[in-house]
Structure 1
Amino acid sequence: MDDKKDIIRPIARNPRGFSDFRGAGLLHRHEVVSKILGAYQKSGFEYLETPAFEYADCLGKFLPDSDRPNEGVFALLDDDEQWMALRYDLTAPLARFVAQNFDALPKPFRRCAAGPVWRNEKPGPGRFREFWQCDADIIGSPRPEADAEIIATLSNGLAATGIDKSKFVVKVSNRKLLDGLLGDIGVDPADTFKKLTILRAVDKLDRLGEEGVALLLGAGRKDASGDFTKGAGLDEKSIAKVIAFTQTKRETRQASLDALSNVIGNTEIGNEGLEELSKISLTLAALGLDEASAEFDPAIVRGLEYYTGTVFEAEFLGETIDEKGNPVRFGSVGSGGRYDDLVMRFKGERVPATGCSIGVSRLLAALSLSESEKPAETGPVVILAMDNDQIAGYFQMAQELRNAGISAEVYLGTSGMKAQMKYADRRNAPLVIMEGSNERAEGIVTIKDLALGAKLATQISDNEEWRKGRPAQSVVNRSDLAAEVKKLLSDD
């Protein structure tokens, strides 16, 4: 009997929505996060790191943009019968930390953070179950100027990654404007279904257009699959007023405010929103954000049951191309707003708070799609193992190169010359170092420039000419190895 038939081997695979990262892509993410955090800290934000797990009751029912409170998380029961869950964002753990350390913290408390978060949602294109965020928050200030500081911090964080400021814009609104509009058209604040249906309809303006939004504001809408979504049941006059509200964005922030004041009616809550945006505009100007960098757009809604005042999104404007070469609109790479109710769950009293979050994974995806020519990953210099009894000497070369600030490695396989060159190619090595017995006797080494060789190969058609000329290959004194490698790499 063949025992091998009884062995059941697992299929090597990733869980859906989770990805592996390696090499330059991983280093690029660390670099981007470091630059964003550097920009945050330059504005006086203190770096804070909280654990990946929180008790589920501490996370609470504040999952942004979710119709299913307390769902969408990965949870487990601890040995003390308490449910723990992986954090779904970096804000809920901040609220727990502030409540836990409230008396000892300076107030306002300015904090920044970066790390992975996890959401138990259906994965799809550009939508992952594990992804990185980079946040900045101010806890304890009710001033609209704090919102402006956060908006500027978001803009500076994106700019720090190397994106030109013309390639993104922060779109700003205020939930109080919508509340004022709803009061003006006679929507009862206690009618949660109608209020949320209207807000969700406005939030779909970019995707459905005015006609689709009007249907959702009225009797309802049937989508392409035949599924029917019940509408808010507004009359035609109220629908027209909501649509007019979404069209009040103008060339300047002040012009947008003037247009809004004519639409939302003279309600107390609406006027509060207008006054807050006016103060935000003045502060943004003082912080150097012009009309092209931050604009007022009333159609921005954001987390329907999460934010309490100012809301904003950073939209990526760079041209992006999908895998098939078609231009695509990428959309938001960062967002935020005021959330004055989050810490209240612990304290029993309102603690004003405002913050922003850059979706690092999404930002990297946007940058990747917007690069027409992606630079190839450069690997280490590879030192070939020509003679097995000289491995120590090859490692001495590697250490000399490393001491000179050059990434280098010795081939540690057991294959011959041809396979070693193939290995160097797969490692994207810019240079290969070769020292055989003859070269060792003469005190020299051979350096092969793989990048230059690949370039010259396109210019030489005769194989004999190639072999005789040995293009992109040079011989240097062994004592000059590090200096020559450094020069060749700098020339590239």
Structure 2
Amino acid sequence: MTSEAPFRPKARAPRGFQDRRAAALGAERRILEAVSRVYEAYGFEALETGAFEYADALGKFLPDSDRPNEGVFALQDDDEQWMALRYDLTAPLARFVAEHWDGLPKPFRRYAFGTVWRNEKPGPGRFREFVQCDADTVGSARPEADAEIIAMAVEGYAAAGLPTDGYVLKINNRKLLNGLLSAAGVEDAGQKLVVLRAVDKLDRLGAEGVKALLGAGRKDESGAFTKGAGLGSAAIDSVLAFVEAGRDSRTATLDRLAQVIGGSAEGDEGLAELARIGAALNGLGVGEDRAIFDPSVVRGLEYYTGAVFEAELLAEVTDESGAVMRFGSIGGGGRYDDLVARFTGERTPATGFSFGVSRLAAALAASGRATAAQARGPVVVIAFDAEHMASYFAAAADLRAAGVAAEVYLGSSGMKAQMKYADRRLAPAAVILGGDEIAAGTVTIKDLDLGRALSAGVADNEAWRKERPGQVNVPRAELVATVRAIVEAAGR
């Protein structure tokens, strides 16, 4: 009789979720710190809300079903209320504002960053769990509030290290397309939503693909059929003329849009708002090369009511197989004047922008802009035997007290393996305290950065090498000063 082998699950991460080590985490942290400083410079207050919200508070992604887990990850609490992991940071803000409105300064200007979750199909740079960093103004209906959000986004991308030619921020207004559709006799809200979603796919499907979705529908490469908006040919032509109305300057685009939308009341209102946004952007110093008016931008979420913005990464990178990867949107936002009203019944104007931090970090890494220096490890104190562990820990403690990251090796390997460990950690230096050094009151310090530079052939200057010997023996009292000099020389 044979016993069954024990079950051993396959070690694997769920699709759309990623394990991140120091380099990736460090890249995200630097983006968050840089963008947060921009938000604070504009006077925005930090706010943190919980990861879970009641499902009815999230609203927009949830279908009419017994288990609301399409688009979000949901579970039922012990009181039988459905909760879901937040899919963005805006819906929790709307709930917070509705709950605390009487005690908040108005307008309420807040920024927030944190993890969000979406139960969607993952793809290149598109994850089910990712980090966002948002700024929102609640309580101002002025188009200038939209312009300020856009200006902050532009400053934020610059602070995060994105080159000025690496992206473009596109601006539109939902009222323009709404006015155009109303003038064409399209009044059904569901039909308008299908139109918005079709236009939102322009960069992926092209004009012909969008034309099919505006009409009867479209069959994709897999054979699956997507039902279209059912517009007539004249309405389809009007929508396509609208999304292709972008010009080289903001003023020229406004002029062209005025000709296309046909003078509808809602469309004229949207044009006036864009004109005020453009004037404010000029005053804020945001040029045409950084922020443009683009009628093809509509944003997929239903809650936008006016201006919408989207930042598109322009660079194309290749994956390990050489295939071209296009990350596309790295952030976006817009005006959502009806979101707080879901709780209060009173319209509360609001506008905001969200940085897709995880996607931006992934795109920068894929394009080679993230460097290995971001994952630098600590100084490693070599451990020879248990008898002298107190001395090893004292050396590491002295370094940490001086602001230098340090650790004692706590594995069971010998000297050679420990030096390999320090090198794999990208440690700037290794501290050697053998019995002879401890007896003599000295310490040996090995400059690992110098060793890496020499092995890479980037240090041919003999004088430079003499000034920076690869290994030195100094009095124990000079440990901190010597290691700090090595660390500072490495630009840490």
Q: Please give the TM-score of this superposition, normalised by the length of structure 1.
A: 0.90
What's 2:72 paired with? 73
SS at match of 2:165: helix
SS at match of 1:211: helix
**Counterpart amino acid of residue 455 in structure 1:** A
Q: Select which of 274, 289, 307 maps to 1:292.
A: 289
SS at match of 1:122: coil
**Counterpart amino acid of residue 229 in structure 1:** T
The answer to whether the Cα contact below 8 Å between 1:62 and 1:306 also exists between their aligned partners in 2 is no
CA 1:37 to 1:474, structure 2 compared with 1: closer, same or farther past 3 Å?
same
Q: CA deviation at 1:282?
A: 0.7
Q: CA deviation at 1:430?
A: 2.0
SS at match of 1:101: helix
**Counterpart amino acid of residue 131 in structure 1:** F
Tell me if 1:239 matches 2:236: yes
CA distance in 2, matches of 1:373, 1:267: 48
Q: Which piece of structure 1 moves more, 278-287 or 320-329? A: 320-329
CA distance in 2, matches of 1:20, 1:294: 34
CA 1:249 to 1:219, structure 2 compared with 1: closer, same or farther past 3 Å?
same
Tell me if 1:46 matches 2:32: no
The answer to whether the Cα contact below 8 Å between 1:307 and 1:337 also exists between their aligned partners in 2 is yes
Q: CA deviation at 1:451?
A: 2.7
Residue deviations 1:43-84, cap 9 Å, x none?
1111111111111122223569xxx98732222222222222
CA 1:318 to 1:387, structure 2 compared with 1: closer, same or farther past 3 Å?
same
CA distance in 1, matches of 2:325, 2:21: 26
SS at match of 2:207: helix
CA distance in 2, matches of 1:374, 1:356: 28
How many percent identity over aligned positions? Answer: 61
Which segments of 5 or more consecutive residues in structure 2 lack a partner in the other structure?
Answer: 459-467
CA 1:292 to 1:69, structure 2 compared with 1: closer, same or farther past 3 Å?
farther
CA distance in 1, matches of 2:325, 2:412: 47
Q: CA deviation at 1:261?
A: 0.4
Q: CA deviation at 1:269?
A: 0.6
Q: CA deviation at 1:308?
A: 0.7
The answer to whether the Cα contact below 8 Å between 1:111 and 1:137 also exists between their aligned partners in 2 is yes
What's 1:357 paired with? 354
**Counterpart amino acid of residue 330 in structure 2:** V
SS at match of 2:473: strand
CA distance in 1, matches of 2:292, 2:337: 23
What's 2:432 paired with? 434
Q: Select which of 344, 362, 365 maps to 1:368.
A: 365
Residue deviations 1:158-177, cap 9 Å, x none?
22212233322210000111
CA distance in 2, matches of 1:62, 1:426: 44
Q: CA deviation at 1:180?
A: 1.6
Tell me if 1:396 matches 2:394: yes
CA 1:340 to 1:32, structure 2 compared with 1: closer, same or farther past 3 Å?
same
Tell me if 1:92 matches 2:91: yes
- Pairwise mapping of residues 314-325 of structure 1 onto structure 2 (< 5 A)? 314-325=311-322
**Counterpart amino acid of residue 435 in structure 2:** S
Tell me if 1:409 matches 2:429: no
What's 1:445 paired with? 443
- Pairwise mapping of residues 77-476 of structure 1 onto structure 2 (< 5 A)? 77-187=76-186, 189-190=187-188, 192-371=189-368, 374-376=371-373, 377-457=375-455, 472-476=470-474
SS at match of 1:409: strand
Residue deviations 1:144-194, cap 9 Å, x none?
11111111122222222122333222100001110121123232x12x343
The answer to whether the Cα contact below 8 Å between 1:74 and 1:119 also exists between their aligned partners in 2 is yes
CA distance in 2, matches of 1:185, 1:55: 39
The answer to whether the Cα contact below 8 Å between 2:95 and 2:340 also exists between their aligned partners in 1 is yes
**Counterpart amino acid of residue 404 in structure 1:** A
SS at match of 1:115: strand
What's 2:462 paired with? none
Q: CA deviation at 1:133?
A: 0.9
**Counterpart amino acid of residue 194 in structure 2:** T
Q: CA deviation at 1:390?
A: 1.4
CA distance in 2, matches of 1:233, 1:386: 77
* Count of residue correspondences: 477
What RMSD over aligned residues (CA atoms) do the two structures have, in Å?
2.5
CA distance in 2, matches of 1:127, 1:213: 22
